[in-house]
Every structure is written in C-alpha cells, then in structure tokens.
Structure 1
C-alpha cells in the first residue's frame, strides 16, 4: 500500500490520528507492496549495520600517532 501524502492541514492530521486509532479502516490494494517494503527495510537495516561495523573496524585498526 502506497501512502500518498496530502496537504499538511489540521484535517489531514485528524484523519491520520483516526487511522492510527482504528476508527478509519484502509484496505491495502496489493499485499505484495507490503512484502517489498519489509524486504527493503530489512536490507536497509542490514546495510546500515554492515557499514557501521566496517567503520568501527577501521577506527580500531588505524594506529594513533
């Protein structure tokens, strides 16, 4: 489900609050989009973790002058 951002008005914020509270139900149009979004999130977190580990490994291996 792709979320289109509308104008940032008080009415739009109330709509978002009602959706979070469960008063307004939205049906996903395609379940595959949810799976792809989850996969991209996991890949992004994994890449972030990998990059952080590489940076800390380099910082440890560089001798101080």
Structure 2
C-alpha cells in the first residue's frame, strides 16, 4: 500500500485497505519511522471506525 504513495499525486485508501497499510507500517525499518508513522496510524483508526471513510494523501 505504501508504494501507492506518490509525492506528486493523490492516494486514497478505504476502510478495507487500511489494515494492509497498517501492517506495512508495522514492518517499516526504524530508520524510515518518525512522527509521520504515528500520525498515519491515528488517521487509519479514524477510517476504521465507520464505513464510507477514506484516508487521502494529497500530493504536491
């Protein structure tokens, strides 16, 4: 799922894709981590609370 992120384009994840994204975040090397991982996890939790919610990453 992380490979879908493009710094210049948008990426959208639905409630069914978020668990896959979370599992990839779990496997990230420590060198790639940071505050952004914590923030991404929090946003994933919001999406998982209800259907018809999406996590949007907006590129430049």
TM-score bracket for this pair, using the shorter chain length: 0.3 to 0.5
TM-score (norm 2): 0.32
Please state which structure has a larger fraction of its residues in helix.
Answer: 1
Q: Based on CA coordinates, which of the two structures has the bigger radius of gyration? A: 1
Report the TM-score, using the length of structure 1 for normalisation. 0.30
- Structure with more of its chain in strand, by fraction: 2
